[in-house]
């Protein structure tokens, strides 16, 4: 069978996420602007921003340790490790796909987020510290939801490998309408909304420091470091979208063989799917008022409810 | 290459039925946090719509034509008549019922999850099986009834308490669909009209309460008056 070598496809997955992520963010920003009746930035604006930042100089606060300079690089590397573990382009598992399951991917994402928060905490900037302590506090209350989502995936497929769940969802309509699958997808969607800074409290591109959680942490960064952080958060958003789409909700349009055409078609397919999901999220984001910060528990308790019910229905045999 | 692993997958029919039953339960949970009077009534209408849809799904899936009649009747009564009646009776009342909970919303949801879990597994171990609906729907019906109790206990406004009582009936009709789908139509209709009487009584009580106390909150009721 002629086709692309597997390591090349594996590399293409990472490149797709790294190169496509700013574009997806740019498109969502454009849709948001159109929804509010503005003309909006160019879709390629994030690429220009990154190019501009990479040409500038990086400054660090005098008291900061080497961790401050290390965090953007390592967290960016973490965000680009996850695309090796999840189905981005192919429906069949690639060699490194067995390196870690969904739990492993979640751990890598959490580690990256921890590094950024730790680096922000040692800058001495009040707002960066506020943001990092908030990010960790609320990460602790969304974590049970994620764990229950993983448990449900494990109960459905008896493994935590994302490829298996994708194949299970593709196997027939009975797998799609089963309540456990619908509930767990909804719970994951709510967590993704929270993780990408959409709902319930944070404004995605906001400038008010008091509403900031994730976006408040890179306050002290400049130049290439800031570019890596921005790029990393765009990559994280795309990785989460890919997990949601290619594993849970719409695992179609993936390459099922190693032929160059199939793989080449899978790249625009995932980007289009991510952009459509981004449009849906932008509409949702703009049709709800932001909540007060401490109302975040209501949002998370709703996600927890969905995930708990998914496990319950599975145990009762009807899920 | 490996195949998808599925030990026991419910069929498309029972998956759809359980999902609709789940929607009934989720809307019940939504009532715990609803902040507006009309929103609360709308949630109830949505829940009744889900129950009617489930009756129609069972009628379609198992060829029980009289359930179509029940679905249409409960659609007319519970989705259209009851909400209109409640909103009409409370026309003068303010729309705001937020913050009437005795505990915060997140805690109310956690308590309800625990109570619903109890209901789930208590019914699950009974081993009642039905030939028209998956057993999980009966557990969900039990959970709806218990969460409706929690709603009536924790929220201190007359609207939520009345809606909690009406949605209890939704849970009961969900259960009756599971255990006795072929229940004589006349019995079901009697239940529905029973509900209509309750709606009128509750509506008038809520209206009188609002006229006397100038609020929908029940907290003024624990004071003794000379």
The pLDDT score that the predictor gives to residue B3 is 44
- pLDDT class for B178, splitting at 50, 70, 90? confident
- Tell me the nearest-neighbour CA distance from B114 into chain A, angstroms: 10
CA-based nearest residue to A253, from A265, A241, A261, A244: A265
User: 3-state SS of chain B?
Assistant: CCCCCCCCCCCHHHHHHHHHHHHHHHHHHHCCCCCEHHHHHHHHHHHHHHHHHHHHHHHHHHCCHHHHHHHHHHHHHHHHHHHHHHHHHCCCCCCECCCCECCCHHHHHHHHHHHHHHHHHHHHCCCCCCCCCCHHHHHHHHHHHHHHHHHHHHECEHHHHHHHHHHHHHHHHHHHHHHCCCCCHHHHHHHHHHHHHHHHHHHHHHHHHHHHHCCCECHHHHCCCC
How confident is the model over B33-74, as pLDDT tens digits?
A: 888 999 999 999 999 999 999 999 988 888 888 889 889 999
Neighbours of B205 (CB within 10 A): 14
- pLDDT class for A206, splitting at 50, 70, 90? low
Pick the residue with more confidence: B154 or B131? B154
The distance between the two most distant Cα atoms of chain A, rounded to a whole number of Å, is 60
The pLDDT score that the predictor gives to residue B1 is 39
Neighbours of A144 (CB within 10 A): 14
Instruction: For Cα atoms A183, A184, A185, give the angle at the middle one, nearest 5 degrees.
Output: 90
What does the alpha-carbon distance between residue A87 and residue A91 come to, in Å, rounded to a whole number? 6
- pLDDT class for B2, splitting at 50, 70, 90? very low
This prediction's pTM: 0.91
Say whether pLDDT at B25 is over 50. yes
- Tell me the nearest-neighbour CA distance from A166 into chain B, angstroms: 8
How confident is the model over B92-137, as pLDDT tens digits?
A: 888 888 878 889 889 999 999 999 999 988 887 887 877 777 888 8
- pLDDT class for A200, splitting at 50, 70, 90? low
Distances (CA, A) of A40 to A34, A176, A206, A242: 6, 37, 15, 25
Q: Which residues of A touch B (CB under 8 A)?
A: 92, 156-159, 164, 167-168, 170-175, 177-179, 182-183, 297-298, 300-302, 304-306, 308-309, 312-313, 315-319
Q: What are phi and psi of B117, to 5 degrees?
A: -60, -40
Cβ contact (<8 Å) for B136 and A317? yes
Cβ contact (<8 Å) for A304 and B109? yes
Burial (CB < 10 A; 0-12, 13-18, 19+), residue B193, is exposed
The pLDDT score that the predictor gives to residue A210 is 61
What does the alpha-carbon distance between residue B70 and residue B65 come to, in Å, rounded to a whole number? 9
Residue A222 near residue A230 (C-beta atoms within 8 A)? no
Residue A241 near residue A75 (C-beta atoms within 8 A)? no
What does the alpha-carbon distance between residue B217 and residue A15 come to, in Å, rounded to a whole number? 59
The pLDDT score that the predictor gives to residue A126 is 86
B98 touches chain A (CB under 8 A): no
Cβ contact (<8 Å) for B6 and A297? no
Task: Enumerate the residues of chain A whose CB falls inside 8 A of the CB of residue B106.
Answer: 297-298, 300-301
- pLDDT class for B171, splitting at 50, 70, 90? very high
Say whether pLDDT at A50 is over 70. yes
Cβ contact (<8 Å) for A178 and B139? no
Say whether pLDDT at A183 is over 70. yes
From the list B19, B33, B121, which residue is nearest A298 (CB)? B33
Say whether pLDDT at A77 is over 60. yes
What does the alpha-carbon distance between residue A27 and residue A123 come to, in Å, rounded to a whole number? 32
Task: Enumerate the residues of chain B whose CB falls inside 8 A of the CB of residue A97.
Answer: none
Cβ contact (<8 Å) for B4 and A164? yes
CA-based nearest residue to B199, from B47, B62, B44, B68: B44
Q: Which of A91-95, A156-160, A262-266 has the highest mean pLDDT?
A: A262-266
What percent of chain A lies above the pLDDT cut of 90?
A: 54
């Amino acid at each position: 069978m002629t086709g692309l070598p597997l390591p090349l496809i594996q590399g293409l997955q990472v490149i797709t996420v790294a190169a496509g992520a700013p574009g997806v963010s740019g498109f969502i920003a454009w849709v948001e602007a159109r929804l509010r009746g503005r003309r909006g930035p160019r879709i390629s604006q994030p690429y220009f921003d990154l190019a501009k930042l990479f040409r500038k100089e990086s400054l660090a606060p005098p008291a900061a340790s080497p961790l401050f300079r290390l965090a953007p690089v390592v967290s960016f590397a973490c965000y680009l490790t996850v695309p090796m573990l999840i189905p981005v382009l192919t429906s069949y598992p690639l060699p490194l796909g067995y390196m870690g399951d969904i739990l492993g991917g979640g751990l890598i994402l959490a580690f990256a987020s921890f590094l950024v928060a730790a680096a922000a905490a040692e800058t001495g900037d009040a707002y960066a510290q506020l943001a990092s302590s908030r990010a960790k506090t609320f990460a602790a209350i969304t974590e049970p939801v994620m764990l229950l989502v993983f448990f449900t995936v494990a109960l459905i497929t008896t493994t935590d490998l994302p490829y298996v769940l994708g194949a299970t969802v593709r196997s027939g309509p009975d797998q799609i309408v089963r309540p456990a699958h619908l509930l767990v997808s909804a719970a994951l969607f709510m967590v993704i909304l929270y993780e990408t800074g959409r709902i319930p409290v944070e404004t995605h591109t906001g400038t008010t420091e008091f509403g900031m959680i994730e976006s408040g942490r890179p306050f002290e960064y400049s130049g290439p470091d800031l570019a890596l952080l921005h790029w990393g958060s765009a990559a994280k958003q795309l990785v989460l979208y890919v997990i949601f789409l290619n594993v849970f909700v719409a695992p179609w349009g993936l390459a099922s063989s190693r032929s160059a055409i199939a793989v080449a078609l899978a790249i625009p397919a995932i980007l289009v799917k991510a952009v459509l999901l981004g449009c849906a999220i932008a509409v949702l984001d703009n049709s709800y008022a932001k909540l007060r910060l401490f109302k975040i528990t209501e949002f998370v308790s709703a996600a927890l409810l969905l995930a708990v019910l998914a496990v319950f229905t599975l145990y009762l045999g009807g899920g | 290459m490996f195949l998808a692993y599925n030990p026991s997958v419910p069929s498309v029919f029972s998956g759809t039925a359980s999902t609709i039953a789940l929607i009934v339960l989720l809307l019940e949970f939504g009532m715990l946090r609803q902040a507006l009077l009309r929103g609360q009534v709308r949630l109830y209408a949505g829940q009744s719509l889900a129950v009617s849809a489930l009756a129609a799904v069972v009628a379609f899936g198992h060829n029980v034509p009289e359930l179509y009649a029940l679905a249409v009747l409960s659609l007319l009564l519970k989705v259209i008549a009851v909400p209109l009646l409640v909103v009409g009776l409370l026309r003068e009342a303010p729309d705001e019922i937020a913050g009437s909970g005795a505990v915060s919303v997140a805690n109310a949801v956690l308590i309800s999850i625990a109570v619903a879990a109890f209901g789930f597994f208590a019914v699950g171990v009974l081993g009642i099986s039905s030939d028209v609906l998956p057993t999980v729907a009966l557990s969900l019906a039990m959970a709806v009834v218990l969460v409706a109790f929690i709603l009536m206990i924790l929220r201190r406004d007359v609207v939520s308490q009345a809606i909690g009582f009406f949605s209890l009936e939704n849970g009961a009709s969900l259960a009756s669909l599971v255990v006795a789908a072929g229940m004589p139509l006349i019995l079901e209709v009697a239940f529905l009209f029973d509900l209509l009487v309750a709606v009128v009584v509750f509506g008038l009580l809520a209206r009188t309460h609002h006229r006397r106390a100038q609020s929908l909150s029940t907290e003024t009721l624990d004071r003794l008056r000379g």
